[in-house]
Amino acid sequence: MRRSVLILTIALLFVTCGLTAHTLPVVSSPGEQARFVVRHQTVNVEVYNHLVRTTVSQLVFNDGDEEMPCHFDLYLPRGAHASSLTAEVDGKKYVGRIETKQAAREIVEKSREQKKAAALAEERDGVLHVELSQVKAGQEFLFTVSYIQEAEYSDGAFNYYFGIQRFNKEMKLPDSFLMNLRMDCTTDIVSATSSTHTLVGGLNGTNASFEVEDIGIIEKDFHFAYMLHLKPGEPEVMMLDQANEDPYFCMLSLPPEAPAEAASRSLVVILDKSGSMRSGDSC
């Protein structure tokens, strides 16, 4: 168990990003022409009222003839927070742990010297940068990262975007690319549509499930819009308790249709006619 903790370490830099870019991770080799191939790519989108969790998984293969480091760069949406990072190497799954930047860097360097796989993730000018210490020649590994954001709200609808146009031009496109979308809300879903891609699935009250077709063919950023049955002034409270992260709750509410009436005022006059009021120092 202790060895697993040391294998993958996340620096304490998962903070709000200031970019509006939404893209897939770009895989590269430092100082080298890209030697890595993304064999399979999956994007799972989970909608919880106004919150959206995006999980990107990439099966990456070292197509070179020598062991080398591997870097990932993921541009997070504005206001998004990375929530988890995992890697599966040689059939073993390693879960990221939050550490200080210095401690994480020391663990990665030590693991590299010992020829062990280690990863460091840190935010750099709005980009989540991930370093995997060593990948053997001919080896493949599964890299998964999740982030949470608020959907953009305008004209009564929530909007979600995911960029697929930007990709490392030195790399081949993934052999396969899947994208799935699931909704689990506390109020009925009025509508769910995409202006860019075909959704296969349907709505069922507060839940919905879709598979995004032609995601790997049409070179367009994915756009998803949905409307919820929200009543002005009535909050929707959601509690999330999942095994892979700390539980939390969130509240969504539209403002009342009309401003609340001003509170009425009353004036009370009290006359004190007691004997003590007759003294010269009374007021």
Least confident window among 54-58, 128-132, 229-233, 250-254 = 128-132
Least confident window among 44-58, 102-116, 216-230 = 102-116
Query: Which amino acid is it at 73?
Result: D
Residues 6+ apart with CB under 8 A from 13: 101, 121, 122, 123
State the average pLDDT for the chain. 77
Question: What pLDDT does residue 262 have?
Answer: 67
* Alpha carbons 70 and 87: distance in angstroms, whole number: 12
Kind and range of the H or E element at 216?
none
The residues facing 210 across adjacent strands are 181, 201
Higher pLDDT: 190 or 79? It is 190
Prediction pTM value: 0.76
- For residue 11, what pLDDT band results from cuts at 50, 70 and 90? very low
Q: DSSP secondary-structure letter at 170?
A: T
Question: What pLDDT does residue 259 have?
Answer: 65
240 pLDDT exceeds 90?
A: no
- For residue 158, what pLDDT band results from cuts at 50, 70 and 90? very high
Kind and range of the H or E element at 171?
none
